[in-house]
Each structure stands twice: as C-alpha cells, then as structure tokens.
Amino acid sequence: MNQFKFKIISKDPNTSARVSELSTPHGKINLPTFMPVGTKATVKTLSPEELKDLNANIILANTYHLYLRPGSDTIKKLGGLHKWMNWRNPILTDSGGFQVFSLAQQKRFGKNGEKKLVKILEDGVEFRSHIDGSKHFFTPEKVMKIQSDLGADIIMAFDECAPGDSTYAYAKKAMNRTHRWAERCKKEHIKLQKSKKIKQALFPIVQGGIYDDLRIESTKFMKKLNLPGIAIGGLSVGETKKQMYHTLDIIKDYLPEDKPRYLMGVGSPEDLLEGISRGIDMFDCVMATRNARHGSFWTKDGRFQLRNKEFKEKKEPLMKGCKCYTCKNYSTSYVRHLYMEKETFGLRLITIHNINFLLDLMNKSRMHIKKGTFNAFKNKFLKHYLKKS
RNA sequence: GGGCAGGUGGCGGAGCGGUCAAUCGCAUCAGACUGUAAAUCUGACGACUUUAUGUCUACGGGAGUUCAAAUCUCUCCCUGCCCA
C-alpha cells in the first residue's frame, strides 16, 4: 500500500501556484509549506512542542551531521529519528550533498599548502569530518542506508551541488554525476524499502547550475525516475535572485504536475512567494532560525536588526498584529534586551517569531491561492516588504 | 605623619624617547547571513573637514629637558596597599 499520497486541492488562475496535500506515514502536510531546519535533530532553540504550537508540520534533519554524531546506527537502535527526538510529525532528511558543497568551499592549510576537505569521485565523495578531520566516504548507496536507518518520511538523493558561479562545463559534469547517482540511489532505495513496514519517499534533486539547457535536461531526467517528489537543488548558492527566478521559470513546465516540488535551501519571504508563484510546493531554509540567533527578524515592512538603537524603547511587539507567542506577550524593547544580554530566551523568542512569520506567509498564500487572489496578495506584500531596501 | 605602587580613549588594560590618535579585550554603533562547521562573521569607534601619506585637541594638572615626550625631570593634585 502506498503510504504517500499527493493531491492537488486548487490552482491559482494567474500564476503556477497550487495548493496541495501530501500524506506521509507521520501525517499530512499542507502545501505550499516551509520546513524549519533541524540539522542535528533539533530546530535550534525550540522544543518539538513549540514547533507544534507554531503549526510546523514537517521539519528537516541532516544525514551528514547525524552520521558523524551520534551515528545513524545509534539513532536506529534507539527507535529512529521520530522517536529519538520526540517529533511524531513528518521529517525530511537531506542527503549530505550540500555539506559536500559547503566543505568544498572551505580552505584548509596543511604542511604541503592548501588541502582540500573534499574529493569528489565517480563512486562517491571522500571527505574529512569538520569535527575531527577524520576521513569518510559517502556513496549514493551509503547515503541511502544512513537515511533508511534515520527513518525520515522523505529522504533525498545524494547530489553534487555545484556553486552558483560554476562554469558550464563544470555544471554539466556535476549534473551528469548527480543523474548517475540518482539512479543508484533509486536502485538502492528500492532494495532497502523491501524489508520496511514504514515507507520512505525518495526525492531526486535537479541540478544544472544557471544554464537553461542543463536545467531542462536535468528536470526531464529526474522526472523520468518517477519518484514520489522532485527537488530543485543548486540554487541560492551564490547566483543572483534574478538567475534563480529565471531558472525556476525555465523548468516550470518540465516539472511533474502530480508530484510535490521542493526548492531546496530557500528562503527569504520574497523568495518563498516568487517560488510559490512558479509552482514550488516545499521550501526549507536556515534563515529564519539562523538570522533569529543573529538578532534579525522579519515583519511585513522588511527585515530588521533587533540590536539597532531604534528598538531600545519600542513598546510595541516585533510586528504589530502578529499572532505569535513572542508578539502576543513581549515588547520589542524586552526582546532586544534579552538579545543584547545574550539571554537564550531571547534567541527562542526571535526564532519563534521568524518561523511563525514564514509559516503564516505560507498559510496566507494557500488561502489566497484557493481564493484565486494569490497574485494580487503577492504583489501587494512584496511592494510593501521591499520598500525598505 | 612615613613607606611603596599607580593615574592612558565609555570601561578594563598595553605602550615606557621618534614609525602613537595610541596593540588588545569589553561595551557601543552599523552591516552580512538562503538544502546550518554559524547564539556567527565583518566594519566603525577623539573632534573636524575639501575623507586625506589632511587639520586640530589628547595619555591626571602645571612647568621643564630634547630636534622630538604617553614615555625622562621637577612640582602639585588624586587613588590603592602597608606602617605609625
């Protein structure tokens, strides 16, 4: 029996936006949605209860980090990710492809000059742990095994995420390798699923850099794999916003209609709306949580830095009319004070607000898509939101 | 009253004759952050302006020595510790 069901509820008449539902073994997800990032099996500063109160219905965790510590075998032994972290709703695990990209950006200096942390080979990726420098090797098969042990509802294929400024030649090479790896992931995944009662959905990841023909080729390729969803990777990795939106425009018509589409690593409020209007259903991004810990917060008027003097004596909440726990109970002045004093409660309060802001934006988007007024909503929001910058 | 140690930018604290408007830390002010090596990183931080290998005022106050002093001398004021 298929434990994953995707259903389109309604389509926006003026854009490619759609409202849909994805059923998973751990519950239903209303799309479009934003998935808070909990890399190390925790959305930094928040408890699962707080996430539930925010109506987050799916969160992310990461293969690379949990493999290094505590080890996916440990998590498997303790009953899998959901039980281990006490989050009984859907989880998506990323494959570690982005960490390879991230580690590859780093420079490390040894006795013989510059040393790379990552070596990308046809069979897989050799890399050194950022924690202790120990050597490891990830293959598509190994990544599938780790994610099988972790037990998330949605798992990601192992991909090569080329930087945004990659040449055509390199983007093509990385794309082709990603295609071969996706096939290997699928094959291994099917094998691993046979013995499982609770099923997992594997999503492949479209690559191709900022090159239209490569993106189209990659989208067609991944679509053909006929997996339960499809992800778009390799964006928001150094290219311009214009290039990112353009890429989404280009591949829009090649994406499967009857599957959830996930734009990885995005994003900011404006990127979410631009993504939705181009037919994206799922997003994840560290901005909401990281920026919160760095003291910046979103409102419908734009992005602000809490430490700025103007907020020192502000009686009003972070955003007027906001229904989040933080805004309902605390003044901007107080939240700023906690941040300035490095009180952990402050980090929690800002994180709650930022996640709520994005989830609320998703809620509103779904509502407007259903009503057929999404485009007007989006334009009005962006006009106001971007006025500041 | 005597002995000793000190007084440097908002604070702590380097410097102990020129390259000192003064290392560094904190605080402050501002910027960045997009599948988290991130409660992190970057910049500004005496005043003024034509923003510059620019001008002025500055290392407790005053007076000296010197081509040149935060740095040496004298003196005054203040602070801390010890003795009476």
Residue A253: active-site member = no
What is chain A's mean pLDDT, rounded? 96
CB of A307 within 7 Å of some strand B atom: yes
CATH of the domain at A22: 3.20.20.105
How far in angstroms lies nucleotide B73's C1' from the CA of residue A382?
Answer: 72
Domain stop point among A285, A304, A329:
A285
What type of residue sits at position A166?
A: S
Q: What is the mean pLDDT of residues A282-297?
A: 98
Percent of chain A, pLDDT > 70?
97
Same domain, A360 and A250: no
Q: Which of A149, A153, A284, A360 is catalytic?
A: A284
How far in angstroms lies nucleotide B64's C1' from the CA of residue A10?
Answer: 91
| Residue A284: closest CA among A21, A57, A71, A10 | A57
Give pLDDT tens digits for A308-344.
Answer: 999 999 999 999 999 999 999 999 999 999 999 999 9
Domain that holds residue A218: 5-285
CA A48 to centroid of chain Cα atoms: 18
Positions in chain B where some atom is under 7 Å from a protein CB: 27-41
Same domain, A187 and A280: yes
Please give the pLDDT value at position A387. 86
Residues 12-31 of A with CB within 7 A of strand B: none
Please give the pLDDT value at position A105. 83
Same domain, A157 and A54: yes
DSSP A167-199: -HHHHHHHHHHHHHHHHHHHHHHHHHHTT-SS-
Q: What is the mean pLDDT of residues A231-253?
A: 97
| Total tally of structural domains belonging to chain A | 2
Domain stop point among A261, A285, A309:
A285
Same domain, A28 and A105: yes
Same domain, A306 and A323: yes
Strand order in the sheet with A33-36: A33-36, A282-285, A261-263, A230-232, A205-206
How far in angstroms lies nucleotide B19's C1' from the CA of residue A110?
Answer: 35
CB of A280 within 7 Å of some strand B atom: no
Same domain, A152 and A224: yes
- pTM: predicted TM-score of the whole model, two decimal places: 0.94
How far in angstroms lies nucleotide B11's C1' from the CA of residue A67?
Answer: 46
What type of residue sits at position A227?
A: L
How far in angstroms lies nucleotide B56's C1' from the CA of residue A300?
Answer: 47
Tally of helices (H runs) and strands (E runs) in chain A: 15, 19
CB of A233 within 7 Å of some strand B atom: yes
Virtual torsion, Cα A98, A219, A275, A237, nearest 10 deg: 30
Same domain, A278 and A363: no
- pLDDT at A106 exceeding the cut of 80: no
Same domain, A218 and A358: no
Q: Which of A94, A159, A281, A360 is catalytic?
A: A94
Adjacent-strand bridge partners of A316: none
CB of A241 within 7 Å of some strand B atom: yes
- DSSP, collapsed to helix, strand or coil, labels residue A78 as coil
Confidence grade of residue A3 (pLDDT, cut at 50, 70, 90): confident
Same domain, A299 and A340: yes
Residues 322-361 of A with CB within 7 A of strand B: 340, 342, 344, 347
Domain stop point among A253, A285, A317:
A285
Residue A284: active-site member = yes
- pLDDT at A363 exceeding the cut of 80: yes
Please give the pLDDT value at position A114. 63
The per-residue b/e assignment along A171-208, b for 16 or more CB within 10 angstroms, e otherwise, is: bbebbbbbbebbebbbebbeebeeeeeeebbbbbbbbb
CB of A58 within 7 Å of some strand B atom: no
Q: What is this model's ipTM?
A: 0.93
Please give the pLDDT value at position A303. 97
Same domain, A84 and A149: yes
Same domain, A368 and A245: no
- pLDDT at A351 exceeding the cut of 60: yes
Same domain, A91 and A222: yes
